[in-house]
Amino acid sequence: MREWINVSLEFVAPCAEENTLTMEWWYWVVAGIILTLMELVVPSFFILWFGLGAVLVGLLLLVAPEFPLTGQILLWTIASVTMTVLWFRFFQPPPE
């Protein structure tokens, strides 16, 4: 179990401050591209919005690299859920 935790944390780079972790901007962009491509395999049309939310966070980190990890996760969650809700609210197929 301990090895799994160490391996999973290799994707998070240690920050200059002790006991602080930060994610690079391109991690979010790659995750967003992977999630968006998963939409081709899983035709549910909601994974796309989680991918676009990750790309949005990646672009924010490119501009503001000191944005905290908790804020990144919160922004990704809010952006993804908001885009998903807006999609299903405004672009539903007409009732038969």
Domain locations in the chain as residue ranges: 12-90
Query: What pLDDT does 43 receive?
Result: 79
The stretch 50-57 carries a mean pLDDT of: 97
Measured over all CA atoms, what is the biggest interatomic distance in the chain, rounded to whole angstroms?
59
The count of residues in the chain is 96
Instruction: Look at residue 83 and tell me whether its pLDDT is greater than 90.
Output: yes
At 7, is the pLDDT very low, low, confident or very high (cuts 50, 70, 90)? Answer: very low
